[in-house]
Every structure is written in structure tokens, then in C-alpha cells.
Amino acid sequence: MQQFSIALAQVNFKVGDIDGNLQLIADSVAAAKAQYDKKKHEKQQHEKDDSALMIVFSELALIGYPPEDLLLRPSLQHRIESALQQVAILSSNVTIVVGYPWHQGGQLFNMAGVWSKGQQIAQYAKRCLPNYQVFDEQRYFTAGDEVCVFDWQGHKVGLTVCEDIWHDQPVTESKAAGAELIININASPFHSGKLQQRHELLANHAQRHQLPIVYVNQVGGQDELVFDGASFVVDANGKLAASLPEHESIVGLVHFDESLLVQNSVIAPEKTKLASIYDTLVLGVRDYIEKNRFKGIVLGLSGGIDSGLTLAIAVDAIGKDRVEAVMMPFKYTSSMSMEDAKLEADALGVSYKVLPIEPMYDAFMHTLKDEFSGLAQDTTEENLQARCRGVMLMAISNKKGSMVLTTGNKSEMAVGYATLYGDMVGGYSALKDVYKTIVFQLSRYRNEVAAAEGEAEIIPERVITRPPSAELAPDQVDEDSLPPYDILDQILEYYIEGDLSVDGIIAKGFASEEVKRITRLVDLSEYKRRQAPVGVRMTARGFGRDRRYPITNGWKAGS
């Protein structure tokens, strides 16, 4: 039995871009080798060295995760075969573990393969295929039915893929087949609190079977999913033995001795809950913009807290020089909002314009005068204001090649307090899965970060403390027609994340009529959400692939 090093390759792949991903793999192999050689060089010349290097990549690394229906393209296998020939060449003096889709016997498998000295030495087909929440793996893949334990450096190494580790069988059977170390390659998207779940889960497996586990996750944003990386190693006692930072592309080397003890226990500091959420939002926005090659971001700044926080995220994602904020006042816009929008834009140093919407609004209303004659004023006029703003932002977006970043939050999207084709326009939404109560917390968090760095306040204090308002009617505030946000968000969380019934929520101590009205609004707003831009998922049930409700829906909320 010999010592060895494992490089955890936490890489930001791009879905579908097999050539680009192969290049990232080659770069990571080179980086791992450089780290490994440096370490070797530091050793005494006379010291015996029988070590070796294994570089571990994430699930479906070659095509990125989730590839969705690209898995049905006819040239998939041909492209993967070509790429794997390159992987084989890269493995001339190292061992490489990599994930890829693979056709065999008329079926498609979610495969992990091991290459060493130019040859493939092992291959494993994922056994547990998730088909819940955002995952549709049974749409594409056939489940494998065998363990894979291969010999390496005199040790027996068991190979597993992502979901496998959330079940008992794959690890238990790998152990029974002789595994002394488990490698688990992942594409595990972030949601708040998930990192702790992963640590606990793997600690349990490790303790129970008395073997170390290496967990490698990809990093980066892919449409609504953000992968947080945070790859790690637990030792045979279940203790965290090494970990890589969240949200960073990085290759981290972990050295094991002959007894499989970790020699260099480098633990990345764990981020606070708010830092983790905030950085996830920034990474999601950055990767959507960069991977889709937008020149920049344009957004509507209202002087309120949602657009203020979204602006900060935009700037942190791609830099102030590529972000443009537009204030579009109307007669209901308060002077406080005008001042605060300007303060926010100035604090971040972004381009800032004021474009009033009266002329367009008046032109529409004039044209529609006959059509509307005899009909009372209602939300139509409010929606029209939001839509004049939406059209303006889209015109700027079209003309300048920048993307509109939508500013709405999850509380609004849940109850439908948002205007389709109005404030809902945009290519991507930063706060789509962030409840208003968390928006407040994130704003304070971002201000604290600024303060700690000696910078000015990003979101003015009074924007955080004054009652939220859409300013679509005189003296309107959100709580005129909604419960206070701390109550609303609890009801929403019980209904959406918790799947509680109306009666179940009332039993938690909320007013019956309020619960009925709020849940009804959630059900009725499905049609709006269906046309909403994608946005970062950061809870265990985001609005997107995660929650698939019919629009036409006769379900009556109740028991």
C-alpha cells in the first residue's frame, strides 16, 4: 500500500460545450500536476517516494450539468468518444476520474470513468437516478446495477456518482466489495443549508463503514441552478479532513498516507448563511451574463429595496462599468424614491438615467379612451405603468446588447404581485427565489460588507426601514393588500416549501381568511410564473423546474 494525492477539481463547466470543457479539464490536470510536483520537490531527495496523483472531476463533467435534451442529440456519443480519447492522452502520467454520458447496448448511462497511464482502468454507471425536484435523470438515463471498485496504489477505491451517496446501497455494497476509500463525483446545486446536509450525510457513511470519502462538486451557474462547489473530504471517522471554498473554481490537492490518513488538512472557512446566499446570487448572475455573452446589464431602479439589492448583485457580478440603472418616475413616485435611487447608483458608481414614463402612459390612455369608456379605474392603469417601464428597458437592452436583470422577489412572484411584461421583463432574475424577509437581511449584510471594507453604504438605511411600496397608486404601500412580510413569508414557506395544506397552515396559528387568500393567490398566479425569466434557485423549492403546477387547475385549497 502506497501514499497518494487526490486533486479535487472544482471546475465551472459550460453545458453542451464539450470542447471547452475538455480544455478546462486539461488546464486543471496541468494545475494539479504543478501543485503535486512542487510538493514532491519540497521533499528530501533521499526520502522514498512511491506516491501518485489522481485528479477527480465532477459528474457529467465533459458535457456539463444538467445537459437536458442535448442528451438526445444524435452526435452525442461520437463527440464524447473523441473527447475521451483526449482524456486518455491527458492521463499518461496521472490518474483521471471524469463523468460523461455514455451509450451502451441501446441505453444511455450517467457514467464515471477512470483513466491511468493512457488507458481506461474502470467505468461505473450511476445507480440512483434522481427524478424529483429539479432533476429529470430518468428521462434520459438507465440506472446501472453494479458497484465499481478498482485497484489503485495498492488500495481499493469505490466509485459513486452524486445521488448514489444519498442512499445506503451503493456505499454499503462498495464496502462489501472491498472498497477502502469512496470517491463521489457530483453536480449538486446549492440551496440554503445544503452544505451542512452534505457534510452530515458523508460523515455518517464514513463512520458507519470506517472509510474516507472524497466528494467533488462542480461550481458555477447554469440557468436556474447554481452549483456551489465546496468539495470536501471526510476521514474514516467522519471528520471533515479537507474542504475547498464555496463558489470558486479551484483545484485542491489532498495528500493521503499509506493508511489513508489525510496529511494536509486544509479546511476552507465556511461562509455564513447570508454570505452563502449572496455569493450564490452573484455567481448565478455572473455566469448567466458571461456564458451567454451579454455586453452588460440594464435594470430599472425604483428607489426600493429589491432593485437596490439587485443592482448591488449586478455590480458584484460583472463590475460597475457594465451596469446601467434607469429610474423611470411617474406621478406616484415619491421624491424619497428619486433621492434613494440616485444614492444607490452613486454608491455603486454605475451609469444612471432618469426617464419619466408620463408621455407613453398618457399616449396609451388617450388611444384607449373609447375602449375604456364607462369602465372604472382598476389595476389596468397600474399594470400600464409597469409595462411602459418594461418596454423602455427592453428597448435599451435591444439597442445596447445588455440584458435586463429582473428585480422581483419570491414573495411577489408567489402571490402574483408583479406585472407580466412589466416589472417581470428580463432575461434573468436575481431574487426570484429570495423571500422579501431575506431581501431585507441580504441588504443589511451587503451594507455590513461595505462597512467592513471601509466603503459607503450601498442600500440607504431608510430604504430598508420604510414600508415597501410599488408606487403604482397614490400613497400605496404593499401592506395595504398583503399581510406584513414576516407573516406572508411564513405562510408562503409552509405552503410552497413545506407542502402544507391550508388547514395545516392555519393550525400553525395564522388567520384563516389570510391563509386562504394567500394560498389562493399562489395558485392563481401560476400563469405569470410560467412566463417569468429564469432566476437563481436558492431554496429547496424554487419557482422553475422545481415546482411543476398546472395553470388550468381546479384544486381547491383546504384540508
Of 474-503, binders to a copy of itself (CB under 8 A) are 499-501
Return the beta strands (E) in 304-431 as ranges: 323-327, 351-354, 402-406, 428-429
Site residues (CB under 8 A) for a copy of itself, limited to 47-66: 64, 66
Q: What count of other Cβ atoms lies within 10 Å of the Cβ of residue 381? A: 14
Number of residues that bind a copy of itself (CB under 8 A): 88
Terminal CA-to-CA distance of the chain, rounded, Å?
A: 61
Output 247 or 387, the one with its CB closest to a copy of itself: 387
In angstroms, rounded to a whole number, what is the distance separating the alpha carbons of residues 555 and 545? 20
The single residue among 108, 121, 394, 540 that binds a copy of itself, judged by CB under 8 A, is 394
Residue 360 makes contact with a copy of itself by CB under 8 A: yes
Q: Assess 535 for contact with a copy of itself (CB under 8 A).
A: no
Q: What Å distances lie between residue 529 and 170, 365, 493, CA to CA?
A: 38, 27, 17
Q: Other C-beta atoms within 10 Å of 255: how many? A: 18
φ and ψ at 160, to 5 degrees?
A: -140, 160
Residue 543 near residue 520 (C-beta atoms within 8 A): no
Taking the complex as a whole, how short is the minimal distance between the CB of residue 284 and a copy of itself, in angstroms? 11
Comparison of 36 and 494: residue with beta carbon closer to a copy of itself: 494
**Residue 52: CB minimum distance to a copy of itself, A:** 33
420 lies in the site for a copy of itself, by CB under 8 A: yes
Touching a copy of itself, residues 298-337 (CB under 8 A): none
Rounding to the nearest 10 degrees, give the CA dihedral for residues 458, 463, 469, 473.
-90
**Piece of the chain touching a copy of itself by CB under 8 A; list 155-163, 254-262, 376-384, 407-415:** 376-384
- List 7, 25, 254, 534, residue binding a copy of itself (CB under 8 A): 534
Residue 258: CB minimum distance to a copy of itself, A: 42
Active centre residues (catalytic):
59, 126, 162
Residue among 92, 119, 379, 512 that touches a copy of itself (CB under 8 A): 379
CA distance 433 to 436: 10
Closest contact distance (angstroms) between CB of 112 and a copy of itself is: 22
| Contact set for a copy of itself, span 168-227 (CB under 8 A) | 221-223
Which of 412, 398, 439 has the alpha carbon at shortest distance from 521? 412
Identify which range of 48-56, 364-372, 408-416, 448-456 contacts a copy of itself by CB under 8 A: 364-372
Question: Which among 165, 70, 155 is positioned nearest to 112, based on CA atoms?
Answer: 165
Closer CB to a copy of itself, residue 19 or residue 151? 19
Interactions with a copy of itself, residue window 103-132 (CB under 8 A): 131-132
Between 124 and 140, CB nearer to a copy of itself = 140
CB of 445 to a copy of itself, least distance (A): 27
Q: Output the smallest distance, CB 337 to a copy of itself, in A.
A: 19
Is 366 a binding residue for a copy of itself by CB under 8 A? The answer is yes
Beta carbon of residue 422, minimum distance to a copy of itself (angstroms, whole number): 9
x/- binding map, residues 10-29, to a copy of itself, per CB under 8 A?
----xxxxxxx---------
Beta strands in 275-367 (DSSP E): 296-300, 323-327, 351-354
| Pairing status of strand 149-152 against strand 155-161 | antiparallel
Q: What does the block give as the cell for 48?
A: 522514498
Q: How far apart are CA 445 and CA 282, in angstroms?
A: 14
Q: Looking at beta carbons only, is 69 or 513 nearer to a copy of itself?
A: 69
> Does 378 help bind a copy of itself (rule: CB under 8 A)?
yes
How many CA atoms lie within 13 Å of 492's alpha carbon, on the beta-carbon side?
27
Q: Which three cell numbers stand for residue 359?
A: 408621455
The Cβ of residue 354 has, within 10 Å, a number of other Cβ atoms equal to 13
**If binding is defined by CB under 8 A, does position 529 make contact with a copy of itself?**
no
